[in-house]
Amino acid sequence: MLDSSLTRALRRVPVDAVLASTRLYSSLPVVGKHLEPFAGLTAMALWGGPYAPATLRAAVGRRTAAAAAQAAAAGVAGVEAAQVRRLPPFARARAQRKAYLHQGSIRYGDSPAQLLDVWRLPELPPGPAPVLLFVPGGAWVQGTRVLQGHTLLAHLVKRGWVCLTMDYRVSPLHRWPRQIADVNAAIAWARANAHQFGGDPDFVTIAGCSAGGHLAALAGLTPGDPEFRGELSEDADTTVDAVVGIYGRYDWEDRSTPIRRSFQNFLERVVVGRRQSRHPEVYAAASPLARIHRDAPPFFLIHGEQDTLIPAAEARQFHDALSEVSANPVRYSEIPWAGHAFDLVDSSHARRCAVETAEFLTEVRNRHLDRVTSTAV
């Protein structure tokens, strides 16, 4: 027993030393802000080992199965004949950004990392446009608006929406709850400033992928929570009218399996900096599954059937629990053959996600306009 404890302790030392070094060089004046992404990548490399083999096997399996299905549909014998190469969404991101970016690198706070872009058409339809804030993923150690969500944003922009996509401060330099505080700051900015870009400050929605899905869900469920407000004033409005969670993680408490324990250890040592056993209230407060309530805004959850990083069963569990309590619509869509980050690598999955999200948000928007009209009458 002693030998195994000593072995575990020795194994921790190099990891802790590396993490400490990333926080040190990320906090350096002038150059530190440019080194923050490397700190996040280092943290993901240290903790991504348990997921890598399963993720690789699943990716290969999905590609083979999808090719076989395409071959069968085309009436062609053999998988090789069906290898129709489609440009992955991340490869089109630059063109989409060029086409729809209205104004870039707008500050929504005082930190250099608190930046967002505004996407919209040059000419908007009559009336204030609905607003979506997109929160990128990256395991709470990467929070960049580069590449992520572009298919969804472009689809909504073409339908007359004003879309915002944000950066936020991340661990290990910035510990939790800095990430959610920045998301709330961006929501408050949208409420106060969307009208300057043709947006409707009375209708602001939020969406996010992976860690961004967690942050979007948590923000939607906890408006006004003083622990998550950061530097915001008490009167800042952080409510949202709808939430879209795309392959998000909605449980920050479960330690029931080896993979879940590994994830919780990652949160403890990299993201939060405090042990769950000593501070369970921190993890409960940060867990959307534990923050469900009747007045939750409308929710749409979309997940890949073959996600090995965040299994679809976790999204189903969150959907079922929220559906039982919420007075507003809660919907769930599971995409066959899709894995984690499907909207970055597969065009058909990305398009489906964008279309279904737009349909859901449009329904919520129409109900909002009906309420406004009936109130005015």
Would you report the helix, strand and coil content of the chain in percent, each value rounded to 5?
50, 15, 35
329-335-339-345 Cα dihedral, nearest 10 degrees: -100
Sort 137 into a burial class: Cβ within 10 Å, 0-12 / 13-18 / 19+: buried
Active site residue 210: yes
Beta-bridge mates of residue 298: none
Region class of 347: left (phi > 0), else alpha (psi between -120 and 50), else beta: alpha
As a whole number of Å, the end-to-end CA separation of the chain is 74
Tokens found for residue 190: 């949208």
Please state, as a whole number, how many other Cβ atoms lie within 10 Å of the Cβ of residue 239: 14
Region of 247 on the Ramachandran plot (φ > 0 left; ψ -120 to 50 alpha; else beta): left
By residue count, the chain amounts to: 377
DSSP string, 67-110: HHHHHHHHT-SSSGGG------HHHHHHHHHHHHEEEEEEESSS
Of 117, 200, 307, 343, which one is the catalytic site residue? 307
- Return d(Cα 160, Cα 199) in angstroms, integer: 10
| Residue of 214, 340, 349, 368 with catalytic role | 340
279 counts as catalytic: no
Question: For 365-372, which contacts have Cβ atoms below 8 Å and span 24 or more sequence positions?
Answer: 365/130, 365/203, 368/203, 368/241, 372/202
**Active-site residue, from 26, 111, 171, 210:** 210
| Angle, CA 88 vertex, CA 84 and CA 169 arms, to 5° | 165
Please say if 340 is a catalytic residue: yes
Residues 6+ apart with CB under 8 A from 207: 132, 133, 134, 135, 149, 152, 213, 216, 243, 244, 245, 246, 357
**Residues belonging to the active site:** 210, 307, 340
